[in-house]
Chain A
Amino acid sequence: MIDIVDANSGNIDSWTKLLDDLLINYKVVSKTSEMSAKTILLPGVGSAGFLMENLRIKGFDKKIKNFYRSGGRVIGVCLGYQVFTGFSEEDGGIKCLGLIKGKTKKLKILNSPVSNNGWSNFSIKKDKLREVGCFSDFHLSKKTTIDGRVYFNHEYGVEVASKLGFSCKIQKKGLENYSAAYFYKNLYGIQFHPEKSQFTGLEFIKCIL
């Protein structure tokens, strides 16, 4: 079972349809009292300020932190991943969840602001995930390597400062300092949209879930 956090910010519909197809049980939760699964999915579309405010109003911020500290698996996608850091530059500077040592910064190439819209290559080996303590709960795929293209749509990116865990770079010239995904034990941060990354996205989701 997966709890999908509905903080009024996120493309939840794409995820519910995908999980339906994979025959994975899920619950869309809009109150902390409804949470009961072993995995939390935090999708995110919007701005960091808007998402964090909604998480705080509903008490999800504390709940997610406590859940993570007690060993529960937390998956953040796009903005949901960005708020794993302690701070985001978006909306004039926002304090975030602080699950990862690092910051979310405006994407820049040679000091010029850019946005990253479109497809980039992404590859990851399952062994690498196991090395940092990430294991699949649902065992949906026997693939050992995911290699293909994935879809990004963001103006801010995560710079991971932690030496723990494993961060994959965005494979695009000038954006290599930003993280495409980060994995450490029960924490999975994904900057791209696997739910909209066609075949590779689906294989990746099957691999990590």
Chain B
Amino acid sequence: MRLGSCVLFINNYCYLSYKWNFWRPLGTLTNVLKSLDEYEVDEIFLLRPIKGEDKNDSWNRDLREIKQIKLSTPLSFGGGIRSLSRLNSLKNLPVERLVFSNSMINPSKKDSILINRAISEFGRQAIVSLLPYKILKDEFFFYSSQKRDFIKLSKENFEIIDRMSNEIILYDALHEGLKDKINLGVLSSLEFEESKIILSGGIGPSSIKSLNKNSSIAAIYLDNSTLFKEQTIKKLKRHAGLS
């Protein structure tokens, strides 16, 4: 099991996010990534938290910033990869994997073309799905930025996501930023192969211990706490059986 970190980045600044709706400024991208690189987390997921319209100005500005970074840790990037021209603009960035959310949830013909092009140009191993979810009355709802709301997905949707993705990030939207609040029942409720799953949102020491012992998931992405306590990473790596 890998231990990574999820970093929210938009308009040239990084943020902490709590319970999906509350943000606090965290710092510049360079400083945040430098810290994570020094802590030797296994990978970093850089997420532009786009919950609706995404203007090209903002996209271009963020990409310019990402191009500047120096990093010796694997980097995944997502949030706003919605067209072939945007996909093209990702070439030669220091990014190993691409994360799609909206294009994977109920994909249109245009989305399918986009994902297939990404597979061809970046490789299937580089394609990751992000499914921000919340559970209401034992039912799962997934965030669609196109609809700007959480929606239910059909069996067919899940099959497409499974087929197109090398790995799938299940992001507990309502528990992000909270310690050990993630509902681990998500693993048995959704029919994805465990070895393809990355969990994020509401992760803490107890959930890491439990996941390390009882599951075969691919990775865990820590959220907010990562950058506050330097010792955290070492301690959590022990819980994950990594050191």
Residues of A within 8 A of B (CB): 8-14, 17-18, 21, 45-47, 49-50, 79, 114-115, 117-119, 151, 153-155, 193, 195-199, 201-202
- Select from chain A the residue with minimum beta-carbon distance to B218: A117
A13-B92, A49-B120, A119-B2 as given contacts; A201 in contact with B218, CB under 8 Å: no
**Which residues from B are CB-within-8-Å of A196?**
71-75, 96
Return the 6 tightest CB-CB contacts between A and B, nearest first. Answer: A14-B94, A196-B74, A155-B125, A13-B92, A13-B94, A198-B72
List 19 A-B pairs, Cβ < 8 Å.
A11-B92, A11-B95, A11-B96, A13-B92, A14-B71, A46-B121, A47-B119, A47-B120, A47-B121, A114-B195, A117-B125, A117-B167, A154-B123, A155-B125, A155-B166, A196-B72, A196-B73, A199-B72, A202-B72
Residues of B in contact (CB 8 Å), total 32
What number of A-B contacts does a CB cutoff of 8 Å give? 83
How far apart sit A130 and B221, CA to CA, in the bound complex (Å)? 41
- State which residues 15-56 of B face A: CB under 8 Å: 37, 40, 42-43
Cβ B72 vs Cβ A47 within 8 A? no
For the complex formed, measure the closest distance between the CB of A94 and the CB atoms of chain B, giving whole angstroms. Answer: 12
Interface of A is mostly: mixed
Residues of B within 8 A of A (CB): 2, 37, 40, 42-43, 67, 70-75, 91-97, 119-126, 166-167, 195, 218-219
How far apart sit A200 and B167, CA to CA, in the bound complex (Å)? 25
For the complex formed, measure the closest distance between the CB of B98 and the CB atoms of chain A, giving whole angstroms. Answer: 10
Cβ B2 vs Cβ A118 within 8 A? yes
